[in-house]
Amino acid sequence: MNNSLFIITSRKKMLFCLMAILFIVLSAFFISNLNYSRYPQSVDVDNCKTQPALSPENENKQLKGILSSIIPSEDKVLYENGLREIADPDIQPVFSAATPKEILDKGKTLSYIFTYTNEEYLRPIYSDTWKQAYYQGWLYLPEKIITARHSIFVYTGNESTAFNLEGELGFYPSVSIDDQNYINIMIYNFDLQNVVQYENQIAISGMPAKKGVQIISVKIGDVSAQTNEEKQMSIHLCTPGGLEIDYQNINFPHVPNGENDFGTVEETFSNTSSVANNIPDNIAEENTLLKQELTHYISDSSNPIYFQYNGGYQASGILNTNLDLENAISSSSGINYSILYNNKNYVRPVYHPEWKKHSDRDWCYVPRKMYLNMKKLFALSSDKDIAFDLCAELGFFEEHPALNKDQIGLLIYNFSVTKASISEDNVLLTGIPSRTGVQLVSIPKADLGKKYIEYAVRLVTKDFCEIDADVVKNN
C-alpha cells in the first residue's frame, strides 16, 4: 500500500515538473517575441491574400490613394539636399569639415558590435508592403530614389521612426534596437574594417561588396566623450584609403529628431491621371483602369523584387566574376578615352516632371527607378533613341556632344575618371568618388580589340575598390 502511494506521488511530481518547465519555456518565448512585435514579418505579405475582399467603393478609394501617394503634386524638378531631404533646384550640398581620410589619420578607433548581419542579403527594389502602407508615404517616388542612392542609414528618433525607416527600405531584421545607449548604423553591401571618430565625425572604412547588410552599434558614451553635442554629426562610409562612398548627417543621438516626412498622400485624386481625365461609366470599370494605370508605377505581384549586381534589367554573367583588382590594374594596358561632358557640381534630380508625362513608358516605374538610382555607371546604347530614353529616365537632359558609331559611351555619376585601362575582358576606369558631378566618357571601340564579345566596365578607386560596374557589347 505504501509503495503504491509512493509511485502515484512520484508520477504527480514528475507531471508537475514537466508542466512547470513547459510553462517557463512558453513564457520565455512569448517575452522574447514582444521586442519583435513592431516589425512586420515577410509572411505578412502573403497573409494579406487571405484578407476579405474590399467593396468596389473602398477599393476605388484605396487605388486612388496609392496613385496619389507616388508622384509629387508639384510640377517641378526636385533634388536631395545634404540632410536627405527633398529640396528645390537652388540647394547647396552640405560638406563636412574634415575628409574621411583625415578622420582615419587623426581620429580615435571606436569599438562596435554587430547587432545584425546577413552576408547574402539582397536589397529589395520593390516590396508589396510599400503598396499596403501607401498612407505612410512608403511609395513616394522622390523618397524611394533618395533611399536607393544611399548605403548607410542611421537609426534616429523613436520606435516610430525606426519602423518607418525599415518599412521604407523593405528591411525587417527582427532585432531589438537600443537607441538609448547606442548609435545604430545600418550598412548595405560593405565589408567593414574599422570605425574611427574625429571631433564630430565618424568614418566607417572597409571594402564595397556586391551584397549583404549589417547593423553595427557604437556606444553613445564612447562617442560623446569627444563630441560637441551642440553640433551635427557626420558619419561617413569610405574605402580603406579614406575615399568617401556615402555619408549621413544626423543630430547628436540624445536630441529627438521628430518624425520623418515620407511625402504627402493627397486626399483627392490627381487630375493628371489618365483615368481622372476619362471617367468611366461605373466604379468597377474605373477600378480596372486604375489597376492598369498602377502597373506603370508598381509591380502587380505580391513577390518582392531584388537588386542584382549583375543587372536587374540587363543580366550578364561577366559581372559575377570576382576580379582581383590590384592584379588586374597592375597587368592592364592603357587605352584612350575622352570626356565629352563634365560637370563637377551636377546633382541628380530625385524627381523630374517628364517622368510623369511618360509614365506609360515606365519612366516612373518604382522598381526600375530604384535600380537605376542604386547605380553610378551606365553604358549607353549605340541606338540614339534608346540612349536618350535611359538619360531621360535618369533626369539627364543636358546638351552634350553626340557619340560616334565607333565610340562606346559611358554616363558616370559622382565619380571623376582619371585613367582608363584594359585587362582581358575588363575595362577599368580609375578615379575618385564624389558627392556630386556627372561625366560622359567615350572609349574608341578599336581599343577593345575583337577578342571578347562583351566587356565589364568597372569604376575603381586608387585603393582598388570597385564602386560600380556595367557591361558593354563589343559589336
Burial of 152 (0-12, 13-18, 19+ CB in 10 A): middle
Return the pLDDT at 288.
94
* CB-based contact 442:340 (threshold 8 Å): yes
Q: For the stretch 197-216, what's the b/e string if a residue is b when 16 or more beta carbons lie within 10 angstroms of its beta carbon? A: bbbbbbbbbbbbbebbbbbb
* CB-based contact 293:274 (threshold 8 Å): yes
Return the pLDDT at 310.
66
Output the nine-digit C-alpha cell for 201.
Answer: 565625425
CA distance 386 to 398: 16
- DSSP of 416-467: EEEEEEEETTEEEEEEEEEEEEEEEEEEEGGGG-SS-SEEEEEEEETTS-EE
- Residues near 367 by beta carbon (within 8 Å), at least 6 away in sequence: 125, 126, 298, 299, 305, 312
- Strand segments, DSSP code E, in 86-181 are 86-87, 108-109, 113-118, 124-126, 152-154
CA–CA–CA angle 374, 378, 384 (5° rounding)? 135
Return the pLDDT at 188.
98
Output the nine-digit C-alpha cell for 426.
Answer: 575588363
Return the pLDDT at 231.
75
Return the pLDDT at 54.
85
* CB-based contact 117:217 (threshold 8 Å): no
Give Rg (Cα) of the chain: 26
Burial of 121 (0-12, 13-18, 19+ CB in 10 A): middle
* CB-based contact 418:432 (threshold 8 Å): yes
Give the Å distances, CA to CA, from 148 to 124, 209, 246, 376: 10, 16, 12, 11
The end-to-end CA distance of the chain, in Å, is: 98
Return the pLDDT at 320.
75
Output the nine-digit C-alpha cell for 410.
Answer: 559611358
Residue 399 backbone dihedrals phi, psi, to 5 degrees: -70, 140
C-alpha closest to that of 92 among 105, 83, 104, 101: 83
Tell me the pTM: 0.83
Question: What is the identity of the amino acid at 322?
Answer: N
Q: Are strands 108-109 and 233-238 parallel, antiparallel or unpaired?
A: unpaired
Return the pLDDT at 271.
53
DSSP state of 383: S
pLDDT per residue, tens digit, the chain (475 aa), is: 333 333 334 444 445 555 555 554 444 443 333 332 222 222 233 333 445 688 999 999 999 999 999 999 889 999 998 889 998 867 666 666 899 999 999 999 999 999 999 999 999 999 999 999 999 999 999 999 999 999 999 998 788 889 999 999 999 998 999 999 999 999 999 999 999 999 999 999 999 999 999 999 999 999 977 777 667 899 999 999 999 999 999 887 653 343 444 444 444 455 556 676 666 678 999 999 999 999 999 999 999 999 987 654 444 577 877 899 999 999 999 999 999 999 999 999 999 999 999 999 999 999 999 999 999 999 999 999 999 999 999 999 999 999 999 999 999 999 999 999 999 999 999 999 999 999 999 999 999 998 999 999 999 999 999 999 999 988 8
Residue 365 backbone dihedrals phi, psi, to 5 degrees: -70, 115
- Helix-, strand-, coil-residue percentages of the chain, each rounded to 5: 30, 30, 40
Using DSSP's 3-state secondary structure scheme, residue 351 falls into strand
Q: Are strands 333-334 and 152-154 parallel, antiparallel or unpaired?
A: unpaired
What are 298-303's contacts with CB under 8 Å, separation 24+? 298/66, 298/70, 298/126, 298/130, 298/131, 298/139, 298/365, 298/366, 298/367, 299/126, 299/128, 299/366, 299/367, 301/128, 302/45, 302/46, 302/48, 302/49, 302/128, 303/128
